[in-house]
Chain A
Amino acid sequence: MPTSPVFVGSSEPNELTRVNEEMYKQNLELAIRNKTLNVLHIVSTITINATGAIEVSQKIADAIVTELKFASVFIALSDTSGKELRFTAVAQAAGSNDVYEPLLHPSDNRTIALTDRGNLMTDAILDRERKISGNFLDVATPLVTQEAADKIENATHTEMIITYPLFLGPKTLGALTLGLAKKIDDLSRGEKETLDELIGAVSIAINRAQLIEDIKSANDKLTTANNQLELMDKLKDEFVSVASHELRTPMTAIKSYTWMVLNGKAGSLEPKATEYLNRVYISTERLIHLINEMLDVSRIESGRVTIKKTPLEMAKLLLDVQKELRGRATECSISLTVEEVGSIPVVQADSERIHQVLENLVGNSLKFTPKGGSITMGVRKTDGFLETHVTDTGRGIGAEQIPLLFKKFGRLEHSLVAMPENSTGLGLFICKQYVELHGGTIRVQSEPDKGSTFTFTLPISQP
């Protein structure tokens, strides 16, 4: 006698009686193979269109029942922690869906612990092999009673169950249980092979669906986090803006009234009073400058700085800055000169920002150059860039300080070493950001007691 086929609906035996037993077996296996290929194709389509693991498991269960004519199919999936199993899909050839309710929605939201043996699915998963049973309760325990399990058996005409563990590498995905309408000793070799292949495809489909779910959930979390960050960023920006307004208003009053007194609007002053008030005025200016720089940093860090490029004549900008700071240079007995500029192209740049960069560099040189020293600005064309430099004969910068220069507050994280006098430590950080936003670079060469040269580049042709 040939092995009776598990897959109901295969070739009619009355036509096969004339061929020998071997042919019969081969034909039978080909038929199974054919159906399996068909269901594999369906599973691969489900895999490609996967959205959620539960939805995918239901589609697979439906496809197996429809295509392979099993009495029933049950799929249980492991939760993300890999600790428990829940039924996610049930399909049957006949019968009402009501009987599955205790499986899909068990009372008290009970689950099957993956570590507990005694359930056919956990046994199959722990032993990593398929398991066969004649009692449906074996897969349903401890979710339902024997009575409820019998009801399900009867409703689906399930006589026997074969449970396969679903794995992908070391990852436990769950278990798939096939319900057979009749009792058998075992599956044929061909049936085993093709079902193994099917189980492999199902595992991939479910894994993919879970990954997509994970990505989607991660994505949702990121979107939420991002929205919150954007909101906080906006609030921070508003706060900084309003706080700086609130700070600037009294600073303006201090600055303006001090100016009034210093400029004789309240009568003449004793020399000492003038000297002290000058210090009040200078300190106020420093504070205003600090507020302005902190605002700049806040804007840079929130990505709100936009570079408005217009044609910029660098040579003219050097002369403007010279004109602007000549007074301060003269007061300090420092010569401020601009080198002869050859023929240089106009660059596309944000003139206000570049003005600020140049003003900052010359301002720094003024701070650190002793009386009688000199500051020279120059610009030249190099390969694809305009290179602007500010050279002074100041006290220079020690090699150990150079890496810190362009950092915020000019210090390493957690360091509280103060900046040299009159420095906020933000100016060069801002300069670097502005130059880099233009696609340029900034660098420094310095020797203690000899002087420093700060150089920044701006690309000539814009991408």
Chain B
Amino acid sequence: MTDTSVPAKKILIVEDDQYLRELYVEILEEEGFYVEHAQDGETGYQKIFHGGYDLVLLDIMLPKMDGLSILDKIKNETPPMNPNRSIIVLSNLGQETTVAKALTLGANGYMIKSDYTPAQVINKVKEALA
């Protein structure tokens, strides 16, 4: 099989900070992933609701709608039209209660951005997609 016959894994990044968003998009595209992004909670929710991502990297503090509300909506209101394989929170909020809440609301993992170098983010993404 050639590379082109295997569809690239689809990743969504919901991140409001332009610099970080562009950085994550860049390093993940470089790894050959198909990357979409959203810069606020509402757009993020629309995309997650439409679904079909192999992985969503979701920030918590976002304009318009926060990450926890997005998780809550898709878990407790209407499930996405197409399932998303995995949602990992990628936030700089690290309060235990926030982490616990995100995991209860169905997040598959929780990463504190500042703890990860770009290489470590790629490793985590690869682990999640394996």
Contact B92 A252 (CB under 8 A): yes
Task: Given A257-B19, A257-B23, A259-B119, verify A251-B114 contact (CB < 8 Å).
Answer: yes
Whether B117 lies near A255 (C-beta < 8 A) is: yes
- Does A256 make an interface contact (CB < 8 A)? yes
Chain A residues with CB under 8 A of B27: 260
Contact (A259, B118) CB under 8 Å given A249-B92, A304-B96: yes
Interface residues of B in 65-95 (CB under 8 A from A): 91-95
The prevalent SS among residues of B at the interface is helix
Residues of B within 8 A of A241 (CB): 93-95, 98
Number of interface residues of A (CB under 8 A): 23
Q: Would A253 and B117 count as touching, CB distance under 8 A?
A: no
Find out whether the CB atom of B92 lies under 8 angstroms from the CB atom of A260: no
- Quick check: is B8 within 8 A (CB to CB) of the other chain? no
User: A251 to B20, alpha carbons, bound, how many Å?
Assistant: 10
Say whether A426 faces chain B, with CB atoms less than 8 Å apart: no
| A253 touching B20 in the complex, CB below 8 Å, given contacts A241-B93, A241-B95, A291-B114 | yes
In the complex, the answer to whether B94 meets A252 with C-beta atoms within 8 Å is no
In the bound complex, residues from chain A placing their C-beta under 8 Å from that of B119 are 259, 263
- Contacting pair B95 A288 (CB below 8 A): no
In the complex, A304 Cα to B100 Cα: how many Å? 14
Nearest A residue to B90, CB-CB:
A252
State which of A237, A252, A259 has its C-beta within 8 Å of the C-beta of B20. Answer: A252
Chain B neighbourhood of A257, CB < 8 A: 19, 23
Please indicate the chain A residues that have their CB under 8 angstroms from the CB of B10 in the complex.
none
Instruction: Determine the chain B residues whose CB is within 8 A of the CB of A299 once the complex forms.
Output: 95-96
Those of B104-125 within 8 Å (CB) of chain A: 112-115, 117-119
A259 to B117, CA, bound (A): 7
Which of A248, A263, A292, A304 has the most C-beta atoms of chain B within 10 angstroms of its own C-beta? A248
Any B CB within 8 A of the CB of A141? no
CA distance A146 to B40 in the complex (A): 82
In the complex, per-residue mask of A257-293: 1 if CB is within 8 Å of any chain B CB, else 0: 1011001000000000000000000000000100110
Q: Is B92 touching A253 in the complex (CB atoms < 8 A)?
A: no
From known contacts A241-B93, A244-B92, infer whether A256 and B117 are also in contact, taking CB-CB under 8 Å. Answer: yes
Give the 4 A-B CB pairs with smallest separation, nearest first: A248-B92, A248-B114, A253-B19, A252-B113
Interface on B for A, CB 8 Å cutoff? 17, 19-20, 23, 27, 61, 91-96, 98, 112-115, 117-119
Q: Interface of A with B (CB < 8 Å)?
A: 237, 241-242, 244-245, 248-249, 251-253, 255-257, 259-260, 263, 288, 291-292, 295, 299, 304, 306
A-B contact pairs, 20 of them (CB 8 A): A241-B93, A241-B94, A242-B61, A245-B92, A248-B114, A251-B114, A252-B92, A252-B114, A253-B19, A253-B20, A256-B20, A256-B117, A263-B118, A263-B119, A288-B115, A291-B114, A295-B94, A299-B96, A304-B96, A306-B96
With contacts A252-B20, A259-B119 known, what are 11 further pairs, Cβ within 8 A? Answer: A245-B91, A245-B92, A248-B114, A251-B114, A253-B17, A256-B117, A256-B118, A260-B27, A288-B115, A295-B94, A306-B96
